[in-house]
Chains A and B, each alone.
Chain A
């Protein structure tokens, strides 16, 4: 990637994101979505986050051995269970990382 492309990506993403943030806060906004768009946007985070992280967790595109996948999946399950039950932003991660490394040590 040449430097111009990097600047374009950063400035483009920054401008686009600010546009999204200000979309309903500018003087033009009446503060109302069309109902279909509101519904679509309500589903977007669940779809996007899941689509983003699943290949990260499974290391899609690499030849990861099943034995290495197991601790990762267990860590995800632990974080999910903890966050489901207790919520929070910090402890679910601590629990997940602890499970990951515990199992890595156990499986060796």
Chain B
């Protein structure tokens, strides 16, 4: 019980940023022409703000459906990393628990568990924390999307609340880019994302991702090689 409550409290502590982000996603769903049912099912089933932003903006830009789906999946590809890490933590857990964990895998539940438990593989007490946090976040997320969909137009456009979306990714990137190879990866993403923005069929994000990751890996290899060399001298 204690752990469930801790999870709910953790989600509540980060909820203000989700309120605005979710509402912005709801507004975007409306602009993309989704019905209310679709605007509920999108956050409920996809449960990932950045991919929802990509999906709706590509629908508005009339991109081909396969590009819409692949772009959304590329944005969510980082969840495969969480999936592998949780898989390690749940090595001895029953399969049904492992399946139950999967739908709630998002950045914040991952970060939350890492903050809650020092050794998630040895201490399964993080599981109630995870479900408490994840289910609360899921319900809140869908709720905020609906608020945005229904009432989003009440907020004056001059408030520029949609600018919260890029800002929240800046906040996510800040701790990541403290390492030089990651800073370079982000710089590559910035440049390629802008350069490829006008690519036909809205293929820019997919192209920027693959090329950016490839160049970042080449740079990282060189970087590791030079630091190893200077270390051995």
Q: Is A1 an interface residue (CB 8 A)?
A: yes
Contact A87 B175 (CB under 8 A): yes
Answer yes or no: A67 CB below 8 A from chain B CBs. Answer: no
What mask results when residues 179 to 197 of chain B are scored 1 for a CB within 8 Å of chain A, else 0? 0011101111111111011
CB of A54 within 8 A of CB of B189, answer yes
Among B32, B51, B178, B189, point to the contact of A84 (Cβ < 8 A).
B178
A52-B50, A56-B165 as given contacts; A25 in contact with B102, CB under 8 Å:
yes
Nearest CB of chain B from residue A66's CB, rounded to whole Å: 16
- In the complex, the answer to whether B193 meets A52 with C-beta atoms within 8 Å is yes
Q: Flag if A52 contacts B205 (CB, 8 Å).
A: yes
Is B1 close to A, CB under 8 A? no
| Count class of interface residues, chain A | 35 or more
Contacts of A57 in B (CB 8 A): 166
Q: A53-B169, A90-B16 are in contact. Are A39 and B217 (CB under 8 A)?
A: yes
Report if A89-B168 is in contact (Cβ < 8 Å); known contacts: A20-B76, A55-B194.
yes
| Residues from chain B with Cβ under 8 Å of A70 in the complex | none
Does the CB pair B69–A16 fall under 8 Å?
yes
- Verify if A108 is at the interface (C-beta below 8 Å from B): no
Please judge, given known A-B contacts A5-B65, A25-B102, A51-B212, whether A46 and B77 are in contact too, CB under 8 Å.
Answer: no
Docked-complex contact B217 and A43, CB < 8 angstroms: yes
User: Complex formed: what's the CA distance from A53 to B171 in Å?
Assistant: 12
Contacts of B74 in A (CB 8 A): 44, 48
Q: Interface majority SS on A: helix, strand, loop or mixed?
A: helix
Smallest CB–CB gap between B32 and chain A, Å? 7
Known: A46-B182, A79-B171, A100-B163. A24 touches B38 (CB 8 A): no
Q: Nearest-CB distance from A10 to chain B (Å)?
A: 5
On chain A, the residues within 8 Å of B108 by CB distance are 89
Shortest Cβ gap from B61 to chain A (Å):
10
B189 cross-chain contacts in A, Cβ below 8 A: 46-52, 54
Q: Is the CB of A8 within 8 A of B65?
A: yes
List the A residue with the shortest CB-CB distance to B39: A10
A31 interfacial by beta-carbon distance below 8 Å: yes
Contact check, B72 vs A16: say whether CB atoms are below 8 A apart: yes
A44-B77, A44-B78 known; A10 and B41 CB under 8 Å? yes
Q: Which residues of B contact A75 (CB under 8 A)?
A: 163, 167
For B213, list chain A residues within 8 Å (CB): 40, 43-44, 47
Instruction: Kindly supply a per-residue 1/0 record for chain B positions 29-58, scoring 1 wherever the CB is within 8 Å of any chain A CB and 0 otherwise.
Output: 000111100100110011110110111000
Chain B residues with Cβ under 8 A from A93's Cβ?
17, 20, 164, 167-168, 171
From the candidates A9, A39, A56, name the one contacting B220 in the complex (CB within 8 A): A39
18 contacts between A and B (CB under 8 A): A9-B55, A13-B51, A13-B55, A23-B80, A25-B99, A38-B81, A43-B216, A47-B208, A48-B189, A49-B173, A50-B185, A51-B204, A52-B54, A55-B193, A60-B194, A80-B173, A97-B160, A97-B164
> Which 9 A-B pairs rank lowest in CB-CB distance, beginning with the nearest?
A51-B193, A50-B189, A83-B174, A14-B45, A47-B212, A47-B189, A12-B69, A53-B166, A51-B189
